[in-house]
Structure 1
């Protein structure tokens, strides 16, 4: 619902896209800014698949951040979808944050993203993340390298994990936003429904606990969510989708041990999200090559028409 109560000359608002290679810390930054987990985090690249909006409302501004999938060369239809999502946000926002990892040098991945900026008129900031992982003397050469590559409006080094310099970045963002309305209520932190966030929390736990060959083959579908009558308990039923029988065995684990652990960890986060006790039931289903089937992608929430 559009809320114009704060629409004054002093109030600023706008949409900010966070762009970068996989695993540079985009979701960590978003969760830190918003103050709670709305985007799942993993050390495995390409964790974010849909664009996730996080809303930060201040006394004089509202910033709507869009956490996009890490830009990479697609290997399947799901990858094509992820790239379309990331690139389309460049056309619809007021500001772009190009986030890079201070520990990694400038390479073909960064060059590929900069090429996408050539036809973009939107102001672009360079955000150098993970500065807590390098020696301070290493920072200036990184800044100089990027200055030669593109005329960024601002260059801001941060540590999203520790929160270093994040407030300065928010102040810089505010100066570039236009005067505008408060798009979302002050207490709303994301545009995604609870059902979406719940499936992402389950997928996050599976990402953390499984081996390398599993993560990108996982999708999670919420089959049922209902509050039990007369009780402060929400019954959640969800299915974890994998591509091969061998992956199903890994997800279930010996005597169901892995699935139980995924459920235990996911339930804690879901209870925190809903503010209620949760009874969580998980199943595992094999859908061969689902990442290349448009019908399956739509069923699992990857509808490119929405982007």
Structure 2
């Protein structure tokens, strides 16, 4: 970057209803996995920050929980976390699903957008899965409902238009400094990242009510002299029957969770990782303020 060039930086929030691909899009834009992914709605529970730094711009993406009708205190926290972000950023990236046009959840979010002065991009994701005519129809209808600064059809899955999207975001951000070092892709502590990667594997390997009843807490994290990262992780669920499912026959499910999480974590840390996994029951933890605070959710 030359001395005369102007540097730009800012915060861009990804909002949208559950399961439209916000986390997949965040990872694709940053170029590295910083948010867990699942085909289950409401996978993201916290605001996840991913940082993209170039010679001209630093974009801090904030992936928010999907906006939905909450059924417990955890759900209320998730919706409040998403909505409060709208007025705290420089740009809102409203992500919709091209395979589900005219979804009532999108209309509800549009009403929230109308109440904020933050400029917004409409990002229509998953365009690889529908005909071009369907995308054009969706663009026309959404354009009539809100004045978006830009409308960009993309595919986080195959990379369609992602470079163009990054260019447009950079152009919409103000002049500013670098908020994070060049090599930082997320500002979340290691404990949070490890817990999320473990939870992602639980989402992948379990079914029915189990995934949404799970929270992971890292009780101990050590960087040992032999180069191994040691983590003692407790997987909390709400019922004894769920505990049995999580452990599995002869411990096979828990063992597989550990194997898959360790693979991702070793790629991220660049060193050997030892996961010591346990399963415990905390009845109805999603409705207990004290436990929500313990697990890192802000007071509501």
Q: What's the TM-score once normalised by structure 1's chain length?
A: 0.95
Report whether the alignment pairs 1:161 with 2:157: yes
Alignment of 1:94-243 (within 5 A): 94-229=90-225, 231-243=226-238
2:257 and 2:121 mapped to 1: Cα distance?
37
Report whether the alignment pairs 1:275 with 2:274: no
1:42 and 1:270 mapped to 2: Cα distance?
17
2:181 and 2:228 mapped to 1: Cα distance?
27
1:228 and 1:110 mapped to 2: Cα distance?
48
2:146 and 2:93 mapped to 1: Cα distance?
13
**Cα distance, 1:61–1:283 mapped onto 2, change above 3 Å:** same
Alignment of 1:42-53 (within 5 A): 42-53=38-49
Other-structure match for 1:71: 67
Aligned 8 A contact 1:222 1:238 in 2: yes
Aligned 8 A contact 2:46 2:65 in 1: yes
1:7 and 1:101 mapped to 2: Cα distance?
42
Other-structure match for 2:294: 299
1:218 and 1:150 mapped to 2: Cα distance?
37
Aligned 8 A contact 1:7 1:181 in 2: no
1:294 and 1:205 mapped to 2: Cα distance?
26
**Cα distance, 1:199–1:127 mapped onto 2, change above 3 Å:** same
Shift of 1:212: 2.1
Match of 2:279 among 269, 280, 284: 284
**Cα distance, 1:285–1:73 mapped onto 2, change above 3 Å:** same
Deviations 1:162-206 (A, max 9, x none): 111001011111111111111111111111011110000000000
Relative contact order: is structure 1 or structure 2 higher (C-alpha 8 Å, sep ≥ 6)?
1
| Number of residue pairs aligned between Structure 1 and Structure 2 | 300
Gaps in structure 1 of 5+ consecutive residues: none
Report whether the alignment pairs 1:34 with 2:25: no
Runs of 4+ in 1 over 6 A off after TM superposition: 5-8
Other-structure match for 2:246: 251
